[in-house]
A and B are shown apart, each in its own frame.
Chain A
Amino acid sequence: MGGDCLHIVLQNPKSMVACTCFGLRMGDILRLMVLNLKSIYNIQRGGVLVEYKKLVDDYTSMPGGLIEAFHAIQNEHGYLPEAAINEAAEAFKISAAEAYGVATFYSMFSVKPRGKYVIRICRSAPCHVEGAQEVIAALEQELGICMGGTSNDGLFSLEFTECVGQCQERPVITINGEPYAGVTPGDVPGILNEIRNK
């Protein structure tokens, strides 16, 4: 989505208005442009492509290893860059469309850049009735971003998730996969500071 919008914007600056209608704000679009220009620059250097290939090659001998390869790429880069998906498609001898189809099927994979720390908030019914919405409001306020957004310092992204299986205490959030159960809005500043000080 982000990448698609970027191409449209590059070809026709007026379309930026249309992109904002898709829920992307001007800030997001500009940030995407900067990030993509950076990756285009890297690709021209060839360094990143070699790196993607190296990550992917560890899994090509594993039957059905594409998802494992995507995990490896995302662990390293925080998301699945388009060039990496293409590289994986080639290595696994499938079409780019097929690889992209896998990348976008699973909710934990992202095809757009995200913050260094991805905070996912469970909104399944058990967390929903015990104040997930208040925790979301606290996170949004503390970080100055909306759900789906990334903080200006590039540190945090906020995403929804469904149940993460830590329902002994609710509501639950995860930060880069690590669960925090029984979170209250009052806990939010402390949790964020703990991460910032890492």
Chain B
Amino acid sequence: MVKENRVVLRNHGELDPLKIDEYIARDGYNALKKAFNMGQDDVIEEVKASKLRGRGGAGFSCGLKWLFTKQVEADQKYVVCNADEGEPGTYKDRMIMQYDPHTLIEGMAICGYAVGADKGYIYCRGEYPYILDILNTAIGQAAEKGLLGDFSIEVRYGAGAYVCGEETALLASLEGKRGEPSCKPPYPTVEGVWKKPTVVNNVETFASVPSIINKGAEWYSSIGDPDYPGTKILTLSGDVNNTTFFEVPTDTTLREVIFGLGGGMKDGKAFKAAQVGGNSGAFVPESLLDTPIAFDSMESISATLGSGAVFVLDETRDIVDVSCRVAGFFVHESCGKCAPCRIGTTRIHEIIERIGQGRGNAADLVLLKDLGSVMAGSCLCGLGQAAPVPILSVLKHFAEDYDAAIARAGEVC
């Protein structure tokens, strides 16, 4: 039976998030003090050796990102926390910020020290207004106690745009502009907010850092999958018994998550599919549930770990209807800057809607696949590139559902 391993969520439910003394009593801010004594290079080396990879979805080495930022000569550098979690079914970053804000603040301060940045921003999504006071109170307490050294953190508040989870779009929004992504390179590590070198990491990534500094890279890298070590917070929704959150080692399989911690399928129904990683993730069939959640193993089945959302569907769910809604999400969230995404998301949704309404034909499936591959290769940012992923995955694993919908169309005619 798989067990939780709470590293990031080690303080969850154990302390009052608004009382810094309770955090300090649980080893809080020791990692930051330790980091100040280690020196910048050793902190970066430790994070690199831990093999911590970004928990926001892209899985890039956290230590390397910090190293690249430190290596750039600049009069000003920034640390930006991406707290714009918008993947449907995901609320892990909210859990961290709402119930243990100091873990995030400490992680950011360690990063600021390591890369030589004295200013940090938390870009919090607009859908979490109740988090702002918690973050500001916690930041104020840490600053008042002089724990952060010369590092300061400002909380900025988004206004409802999924695309701002993409780092260049987030930085544009931070600058008060439309949250449209831009071409990379230059990467934010070289030219980020206000064209200054900037580390952009997810909430969960920063929140992993204090434990790594406290307990060492060796300890962390021995947890879970060797190439994507550590833990990952998963949020379960849909037709499982326990629709809640869990933090598990990264070598945990999807089957263990759904049928172990998740308590199996609701009402004794059979499993049909799980969409992993949020709206931009693939739908995984029963035959692939023994895949570990780690970044690379998910990639090997053309899926992604993404945000760690696990959305489970039982045998009674209409895959065409669900994938139509998934496609509709991207129509709403495409920023419109590049044509393949702006037009592609709309057309994909239109075609699936047509199939669902019993007006589709076999040529539509070919069109969907073509459109998907064009978008994956030509869209400017991750949003458009990933938008066809869930659709292509259902066409691959649940083709019979689409075929049945098209066959119904034949009968109607």
- Listed in ascending order, the chain A residues whose CB lies under 8 Å from chain B are 63-68, 70-71, 92, 101-102, 105-109, 123-129, 160-170, 174, 177-178
What's the minimum C-beta distance from A57 to chain B, rounded to whole angstroms? 15
12 residue pairs from A and B, CB less than 8 Å apart: A102-B176, A105-B161, A106-B159, A108-B127, A123-B325, A125-B311, A125-B329, A126-B311, A165-B93, A165-B127, A167-B88, A168-B91
User: Which of B238-246, B250-258, B401-409 interfaces with chain A?
Assistant: B238-246
Instruction: Say yes or no: B129 contacts A168, CB within 8 Å.
Output: no
What's the minimum C-beta distance from A124 to chain B, rounded to whole angstroms? 4
Q: Which residue of the partner chain B has the closest CB to A102?
A: B178
- Listed in ascending order, the chain B residues whose CB lies under 8 Å from chain A are 85-91, 93-94, 125-130, 156-162, 173-180, 194, 235, 237-239, 243-245, 275, 279, 309, 311, 313, 317, 322, 325-326, 328-329, 332-333, 335
**Total residue contacts A-B, CB cutoff 8 A:** 128
What's the minimum C-beta distance from A172 to chain B, rounded to whole angstroms? 10
Instruction: Say yes or no: B87 contacts A163, CB within 8 Å.
Output: yes
Q: Which of A65, A108, A169: most chain B Cβ within 10 A?
A: A108
A22 to B235 Cα, complex, angstroms: 40
Instruction: Say yes or no: A107 contacts B160, CB within 8 Å.
Output: yes
Instruction: Say yes or no: A162 contacts B88, CB within 8 Å.
Output: yes
- Write out the residue numbers on chain B whose beta carbons fall within 8 Å of the beta carbon of A124: 88-89, 279, 325, 329
- Write out the residue numbers on chain A whose beta carbons fall within 8 Å of the beta carbon of B333: 162
A169 to B91 Cα, complex, angstroms: 12
Instruction: Say yes or no: B237 contacts A107, CB within 8 Å.
Output: no
Instruction: Say yes or no: B178 contacts A105, CB within 8 Å.
Output: yes
Q: Which residue of A64, A67, A123, A161 is within 8 Å of B127 (Cβ)? A: A161
A126 to B236 Cα, complex, angstroms: 10
Contacts A124-B329, A128-B325 hold; do A168 and B178 have CB atoms under 8 A apart?
no
Instruction: Say yes or no: B129 contacts A177, CB within 8 Å.
Output: yes
What's the minimum C-beta distance from A163 to chain B, rounded to whole angstroms? 4
- Write out the residue numbers on chain B whose beta carbons fall within 8 Å of the beta carbon of A168: 91, 235, 237, 243-245
- Beyond the given A63-B175, A106-B159, please list 15 additional residue pairs across the A-B interface where CB-CB is below 8 A: A64-B156, A67-B173, A71-B159, A109-B160, A124-B279, A125-B322, A129-B239, A162-B86, A163-B88, A164-B127, A165-B91, A165-B93, A165-B127, A167-B89, A177-B129
Instruction: Say yes or no: A71 contacts B177, CB within 8 Å.
Output: no
Q: Which residue of the partner chain A has the closest CB to B275?
A: A125
- Write out the residue numbers on chain B whose beta carbons fall within 8 Å of the beta carbon of A106: 126, 158-161, 179
Instruction: Say yes or no: B88 contacts A64, CB within 8 Å.
Output: no
Instruction: Say yes or no: A67 contacts B156, CB within 8 Å.
Output: yes
Instruction: Say yes or no: B175 contacts A105, CB within 8 Å.
Output: no
A168 to B99 Cα, complex, angstroms: 15
A105 to B157 Cα, complex, angstroms: 14
A92 to B177 Cα, complex, angstroms: 11
A102 to B175 Cα, complex, angstroms: 11
What's the minimum C-beta distance from B267 to chain A, rounded to whole angstroms? 13
User: A-B pairs with the 6 shortest C-beta distances?
Assistant: A106-B159, A124-B88, A108-B160, A64-B176, A66-B176, A107-B160
Q: Which residue of the partner chain B has the closest CB to A63?
A: B194
- Write out the residue numbers on chain A whose beta carbons fall within 8 Å of the beta carbon of B130: 177-178
What's the minimum C-beta distance from B139 to chain A, rounded to whole angstroms? 16
What's the minimum C-beta distance from B324 to chain A, rounded to whole angstroms? 9
- Write out the residue numbers on chain B whose beta carbons fall within 8 Å of the beta carbon of A109: 159-160
Contacts A63-B194, A163-B89 hold; do A169 and B243 have CB atoms under 8 A apart?
yes
A90 to B275 Cα, complex, angstroms: 46
A123 to B128 Cα, complex, angstroms: 17
Q: Which residue of B85, B244, B328 is within 8 Å of A165 (Cβ)? A: B85
A79 to B125 Cα, complex, angstroms: 18
Instruction: Say yes or no: A108 contacts B88, CB within 8 Å.
Output: no
What's the minimum C-beta distance from B122 to chain A, rounded to whole angstroms? 13
Instruction: Say yes or no: A174 contacts B173, CB within 8 Å.
Output: no
A41 to B313 Cα, complex, angstroms: 55
Q: Which residue of the partner chain B has the closest CB to A109?
A: B159
Instruction: Say yes or no: A105 contacts B129, CB within 8 Å.
Output: no
A71 to B325 Cα, complex, angstroms: 29
- Write out the residue numbers on chain B whose beta carbons fall within 8 Å of the beta carbon of A70: 159
A161 to B125 Cα, complex, angstroms: 13
What's the minimum C-beta distance from B94 to chain A, rounded to whole angstroms? 5
A124 to B85 Cα, complex, angstroms: 14
- Write out the residue numbers on chain A whose beta carbons fall within 8 Å of the beta carbon of B322: 125, 128-129
Instruction: Say yes or no: A108 contacts B317, CB within 8 Å.
Output: no
